[in-house]
Chains A and B, each alone.
Chain A
Amino acid sequence: MRKRAVLVVLLLAAISVAAPCIDFEAGVIRGGGLSFLFGSYLEAKAAMLAETGSTSPGSLGRSLATLFPDWGVGAYGEARLLSWLSLRLEPRLSFMGASRLALTDTELPFCRYSVSFSTLVVPLLARAKLNLGPGFLTVSAGPFYGAIVGEITTVDRYVSTTMKGALTTDFGQVQFLGVSGGAGYSLPLGIGVAALELRADCAITPATGQEGVLGGEMFPLGIALVASYGVRFGGGAR
């Protein structure tokens, strides 16, 4: 954890030192889309819903994954390394989660379940650009560090009853690593550059929580349409 922080600081320092002599872009980013969770935490929940939805021995209910929003805001700093390649650090605060609609073994809905949380996602992206029309196509890919910030909230909504759990977590108690990537189109606009990208963040290590606080593994996945606007500094800005 400490090693990771040192690496991030060194990287930022390198970018800032190089900023006067290379292209540097900084801006804000906002996105929205869908999020999903995978892993044993959700599988256990699905199994429990299947069992509590059983009205006769030998048959099980089931639960269907339903759409769950993913939205986030953040900022980025981007250093141009080559004419077509730049490196972007893009810390974002995202809201993610998953939900399921539980059905009895007679296919009647009885519970809507959701689990949600806010995460700090810090991707380090390599961005390739290709001129196209008035702007340019971009393709991004790179690793990210993620950590759940604040509470993990569960909601179980039945016909007449709603139950809500809010598990307090300390920052860094539930963290995960993953890969982020996407593609989009950027357009010079005003004093800066506006961009719209389809972006996916996919955890490759589980968010389990220290000391097994979650009681299972969660692999968050977010797919979002991301809009950004940034301003360029330094020599060579086009």
Chain B
Amino acid sequence: MKARSLAGISLAAAAAALLLSCNPLSSPLPDNAVDVPVVQHLAYSGTFTYSVDPGATSRDVYFVFTNPSVTANADQKPSVEGAAIVIDGKSLPSPGPQPLYSENSEPRSLAERIAEFNRDPFKALGLDASAAARSEFPVGPGEPSFDSFGELDTLKDLGPGNATISVDATCQFVSPAPVTIADGTTRKLNIWVANDCWTIGGTKSHLVDGSMVAALADSFLMTGSANDIYDWVTAVIGAEWGTHGFSNLIPPNREITILLSDIEADNSDTGGIVGYFWAGNNFTTSSVPDSNERIMFVIDAVMYAARVPALGETVWSADNYWPKIVISTLAHEFQHMIHFYQKAIVQGAPSGTDTWINEMCSMIMEDLVADKLGVEGPRGVSPADGSAGSPGITEGRIPDFNSNSYYPLAVNSDYGLTDYSISYAFGSWLARNYGGTELLRRIVQCPETNTTAVINAVAAESGPQEESMARLLEKWAASVLLSDMTTAPARYRYNTRGWTTSRAGGLSYNLGSINIFNYAPELYVFTQAGTVPGTTFNRSSNIYYQAALGLGTARSWTLTVPQGILTTVVLK
């Protein structure tokens, strides 16, 4: 009996020791623990309470809700409809059915018409882009254009009301000699100016002269290496045109044309379409009767020639407000030009790139070359300043993002100014965290045309971490809130207090820091007391909710989050 008791006591003691060896729930961190910005991506949904005990340091508490659906197909309706997010009784916008790309096939504006065409010209023209449609014999090289200074011609431009208009123009610049580029081949630049925009005989409110043409030429293509938009952009994402197997595309003749014209004939010097690349010009007239059969851009002449007296611009200079916008736009449109060739022709993509991705690529490119061009670019900060600047920045794309922080990212139709700002806010974060130039090259030089292109490019940089669009949307949202800190986790950084550098083609590229809270208007965040805009919770969007400012004592919230919606908690 004694032996039995001893055995029983021993076993009980062993059980107790085993229990006590475990860390109870509240065990503290080891002494060498370090303080870090707090980001928590919650895995669960439903109704739950969430409490924060800030300890000795008061904290701002944010909840971010992510609708991760990026449906671009009518067969895949967003899975999160109906139920609202509720925080302590306050309802935020509910997820709901969204207009899907395939349900909106009537482009309304000129910009949309161009974007729709560029998305998939072959489809727009009813042409076969499959490998079977390609000849095994490459097309090219093509005949030179034989453009000559002072030559008169009529070029096609896209006008208002989805109409094509003919523009009488004069060749005002031809590269004095073929310019040797990085791959050892040559390029020639031809600049044509619409006669009604030229300094002699022109009728527009601002007229182009020879010095403006020369400045444009120098910024785009000039003799020497690594000194112009052509060199900087092609080093990252490749050539704009080359041999191909399609008889209905023009052969490569190693020339690029810029037409300066009053786009949409609006004579506006306060905004509108600054420039465009239309892939229809890459086709022969047998397929596209309105094609100019040139690898070309169109730039708005009135805006390029404009001065803004309110900014003290008494004479035209390439450093003035509008010329800098136009120069940055050249880099933007050049990305579209290259994107079309690399994606649709070289990679043989089966469909066009999603509009928001293509535009995001263009704005990342503007960002990458902004300091080289000496322009503020989409970041809206002095190109000489790698820091995040100072409070009160109103330039660039971020202010519009701040006003509309809950707008969707993956927009493919009715793509407007606010959509540019959302795409840039996301793209600028991607580029600063996932390889800069290499990220852009990976997105452009691959056959994927939707979010897969983005996810693959990110995954190639991040290595073992599994990536998805949902994870990217969550991380992006947290990064927005942490952008006023330079100690955010490595993939959550908009702001390093300096440049983020990457390389391509032997060249170095700088991306300046971004502090979302330095921009005006300030980031739109939902609050318990504030009004809720009459909007649905868009797919591929984030809702920022400020739960507490300077929380000093423990507090709990009761949240109801519909299934499919992701919740992130950020403390700072």
Contact = CB atoms under 8 A, between A and B. Distances in A.
Interface of A: 31-34, 41, 44-45, 47-48, 50-60, 66-69, 71, 99, 101, 104-105, 108-112, 114, 116, 134, 152, 154-169, 187, 189, 194, 196, 209, 211-216, 225, 227
Nearest to B491: A51
A104 B36 contact: yes
Contacts of A59: 490
B29 A213 contact: no
Contacts, number: 180
A47 B15 contact: no
Given A165-B48, A196-B11, A227-B11, A116 B35 contact: no
Contact of B44 (A104, A152, A159): A152
B315 interface: no
28 contacts: A33-B15, A45-B43, A47-B466, A52-B36, A54-B489, A67-B21, A67-B22, A67-B23, A68-B23, A69-B19, A111-B29, A112-B28, A112-B29, A116-B25, A155-B25, A157-B28, A160-B57, A165-B42, A165-B51, A166-B51, A187-B8, A189-B8, A196-B11, A212-B563, A213-B45, A215-B42, A215-B43, A215-B45
B160 to A, nearest CB: 47
Interface in B49-69: 49-57, 59
Contact of B32 (A34, A71, A109, A189): A109
Interface of B: 4, 7-8, 11-12, 14-16, 18-19, 21-30, 32-36, 38-57, 59, 433, 463-466, 475, 489-492, 563-564, 566, 569, 571
Given A55-B489, A56-B490, A165-B49, A48 B22 contact: no
B52 A225 contact: no
A216 B466 CA distance: 14
Contact of A168 (B7, B32, B47, B492): B47
Contacts of A71: 19
Nearest to A95: B25
Given A154-B42, A213-B44, A215-B44, 19 more contacts: A32-B18, A33-B15, A51-B489, A51-B490, A52-B36, A54-B489, A58-B490, A59-B490, A99-B23, A104-B36, A155-B26, A158-B38, A161-B38, A161-B57, A161-B571, A164-B52, A166-B51, A169-B46, A215-B45
A161 B490 contact: no
A213 B563 contact: yes
A108 B33 contact: yes
B4 A187 contact: yes
B36 A161 contact: no
Contacts of B32: 108-109
Given A163-B50, A165-B42, A165-B50, A227 B15 contact: yes
- Identify the interface centre among B28, B38, B463, B566: most chain A CB within 10 Å of its CB: B38
B43 A109 contact: no
Nearest to B563: A211
A163 B43 contact: no
Nearest to A170: B46
A120 B32 CA distance: 38
A54 B490 contact: yes
A126 B56 CA distance: 54
A100 to B, nearest CB: 11
Contacts of B46: 167-169, 213
A58 B24 CA distance: 34
A217 to B, nearest CB: 10
Contacts of A55: 489-490
A168 B44 CA distance: 11
Contacts of A164: 50-53
A159 B489 contact: no
B18 A66 contact: no
Interface centre among A50, A56, A109, A155 (most CB of B within 10 A): A109
A36 to B, nearest CB: 11
Contacts of B41: 48
Contact of B54 (A111, A160, A169, A212): A160
A116 B475 CA distance: 26
Given A60-B464, A66-B23, A211-B563, A156 B40 contact: yes
B19 A112 contact: no
Contacts of B38: 156, 158, 161, 163
A166 B49 contact: yes
